[in-house]
Amino acid sequence: MVKYLLGIFTGAVLVFLLFGMLILVAVTAGTTPPFIENDSVLVVNLHGSIPERTDVAFNFGGWNAATMPTLLEIHQAFQKAAKDDRIVAVALYCGGIRIGWGKAQELRWVIQNFKKSGKPIRAFLEGASVLDYYIAVAADEIATSPESLLDVKGLHAEISFYKGTFDKIGVKAELERIGKYKSFAEPWSRSSMSKPFRKVVNSVLDETYGQFLTAVASARNMKINELRNVIDAGPFVQKQAFDAGLVDTLQYEDEFRDSFEHNLGLDKLNEVNLSQYKTVSLDSMHREEKPLIAVIYAVGSIMSGDTEIDSVFGSDILGANGFIRVLRKVATDENIKAVIVRIDSPGGDAFASDRIWRAMHKLREKKPIIFSLSDTAASGGYYIAMANSPVLAYPGTITGSIGVVYGKFNLRGLYDKLGINKEIITRGRHAASLSDYRGFSPQERKKARDDMDAFYSTFVRKVAESRGRTWKEVDKLAQGRTWVGSQAHTNGLIDELGGFDRAIEMAKKTAGLDSKQDVTLIPYPAPKDFFSLLLEGDWQTLKSAIVKHVNSSFNSFHGSLPWPVLFRGGLMQIAPYSIEVR
């Protein structure tokens, strides 16, 4: 028995020591940049989701376990590769990407800027969709397998309606709105689109498809009408894509890789993966000290509390409390010369949005701010950018949606079906107004409408003040209507169309820096190292990161709908629906 217990104890000690040694090796090795050989080809795999920021960096001995680098890391890697004499070309692999049109346009601009270096960039498509092709067509040359599928056949938008399901299970959406285009309630309270809803979706689809056709026609030397006819024949299998002029060559992946050696005159193909190359610092190539520009990420559904990952749906929550602490920290850092705020948010809680709006104004008193809108910056996500500072967006960014929603789900019918009974005892006329066991009374509904009118008026006024417009001018563009970035630019809701490069240029200008001056971008909130969190016992952050990874497949089902905000109810500045154009 003693030997048995001694064996268990010895085994436990050995496991503990081994685990500690692994942590030490990983932390030490993770800080060492990889060795880059001469005549190397940078391999960039674009698939799945591309996040704006990383919560936890899973670095194991120089190997990064994250499924995809952030958008800024990809941007910086291409910049480094353009200047790095050791990198002679880029191999781009596209297939199965799940991002919005804003990020896709950033990637296209990154590729186009890299091409100015004179180094070749070739793309390989495998099971590519419209977005994959839209990105790849910016490369010098496109290859695909002789037996692959190019799933390019146009665009479509799908909006699900749940009223029929709710009727069957006894759930009623008690949702009020301000703005005739604020169609947030429709998927829950109707079985089909209203005319205003359909008008906006068609407008978004037309504008996005036009951007796609223009980009592809220019890259493939086609006329727009010619390209329309080609796409109407899609999708494309075997050599159909080649015959249609959509790709340049048919090659298997091994032939694609071998062609780099032949075309570049290399004896051996040295490949460096993007996940490794992103750890190569620009500072290692240029040692001089550079001014600091903060990149603050406002990502997720806006709610009160701290920034985290929703434990049920795995979606990002932009917590007002935690985010405001970040803004205050940046405001007091004398080393930071300017701030770029990256917004990827459909909005959320109206009061939390207003608190962030106020904190943005306080930050602007200390630092110049440039707002850079990503895939989505709508309703509350647009509201927080109204700080009398320049606002940039991509042509395909979903933005606007200046309106207000108030409501809840009435689950009384469902409770009855399940045999659940509730008794409500109140003190105060409106104390149970948000109870899920009954609908709104006429007095509660009137009170909600009055509050919504006041908040909508304030929303429009703050946009008008920030954009230098009158209340009536903004009201005509508001009414809850969603715009894409190109339309928002035409309407004056944003200042310019642009991505990271233009935001950095404007940040340098507003900070009084030379336009050719190199700068260092500091992300906020900064990603935390996995092993550091483990040693610190920060289980909440670790849990959030794991939940987000595990729920990635569920996210592909429910899209970008802000479920945590929706189920909380109350007064919301939130995009009226989740538009996924594919």
Q: Binning pLDDT at 50, 70 and 90, where does residue 559 land?
A: very low
Instruction: Say what the pLDDT of residue 554 is.
Output: 46
Please, are residues 64 and 16 in contact by the beta-carbon 8 Å criterion? no
Instruction: Say what the pLDDT of residue 264 is.
Output: 86
Q: Binning pLDDT at 50, 70 and 90, where does residue 54 land?
A: confident
- 33 prior amide bond cis, ω within 30: no
The Cβ of residue 497 has, within 10 Å, a number of other Cβ atoms equal to 17
Pick from 59-73, 154-168, 212-226, 478-492: least confident: 59-73
Mean pLDDT (the chain, rounded):
86
- Residue 579 backbone class (left: φ over 0; alpha: ψ -120 to 50; beta: rest): beta
**Cα separation, 249 vs 259, whole angstroms:** 11
Kindly tell me if the per-residue pLDDT of 282 is higher than 80: no
Instruction: Say what the pLDDT of residue 311 is.
Output: 47
Instruction: Say what the pLDDT of residue 10 is.
Output: 52
Q: Residue 41, CB half-sphere, CA atoms under 13 Å: how many?
A: 28
pLDDT tens per residue, range 1-38: 555 455 554 555 444 444 444 444 444 444 556 788 99
- Check residues 315 and 394 and name the one with the higher pLDDT: 394
User: Which one from 379, 466, 486, 560 is the annotated catalytic residue?
Assistant: 379
Over residues 331-360, the mean pLDDT reads 95
Over residues 297-302, the mean pLDDT reads 94
Above pLDDT 70, what percent of the chain? 80
Q: What are phi and psi for residue 50, nearest 5 degrees?
A: -115, 110
Which one-letter amino acid corresponds to residue 532?
S
Instruction: Say what the pLDDT of residue 556 is.
Output: 44
Q: Binning pLDDT at 50, 70 and 90, where does residue 468 land?
A: very high
> Of 85, 132, 96, 86, nearest to 111 (Cα)?
132
Instruction: Classify residue 581 by its DSSP letter.
Output: B
- Check residues 154 and 556 and name the one with the higher pLDDT: 154
pLDDT tens per residue, range 177-189: 998 998 888 999 9
Kindly tell me if the per-residue pLDDT of 530 is higher than 70: no
Please, are residues 330 and 369 in contact by the beta-carbon 8 Å criterion? no
Over residues 265-289, the mean pLDDT reads 77
- Check residues 69 and 547 and name the one with the higher pLDDT: 69
Over residues 482-507, the mean pLDDT reads 97
Domains and CATH numbers, the chain: 36-153+234-283 (3.90.226.10), 290-401+481-573 (3.90.226.10)
pLDDT tens per residue, range 195-239: 999 999 999 999 999 999 999 999 999 999 999 999 999 999 989
Over residues 536-557, the mean pLDDT reads 50
- Check residues 359 and 266 and name the one with the higher pLDDT: 359
Does 379 participate in catalysis according to the annotation?
Answer: yes
**Helix 195-219 × helix 101-115 angle, to 10°:** 20
> Of 68, 140, 58, 57, nearest to 99 (Cα)?
68
Handedness of CA 211, 215, 216, 217 (dihedral sign): positive
Please, are residues 76 and 252 in contact by the beta-carbon 8 Å criterion? no
- Check residues 344 and 65 and name the one with the higher pLDDT: 344
Q: Binning pLDDT at 50, 70 and 90, where does residue 336 land?
A: very high
The Cβ of residue 397 has, within 10 Å, a number of other Cβ atoms equal to 33
pLDDT tens per residue, range 119-148: 999 999 999 999 999 999 999 999 999 999
Instruction: Say what the pLDDT of residue 56 is.
Output: 59
> Of 579, 399, 581, nearest to 490 (Cα)?
399
CA angle 451-453-459, nearest 5°? 105
Over residues 352-371, the mean pLDDT reads 97
Kindly tell me if the per-residue pLDDT of 398 is higher than 70: yes
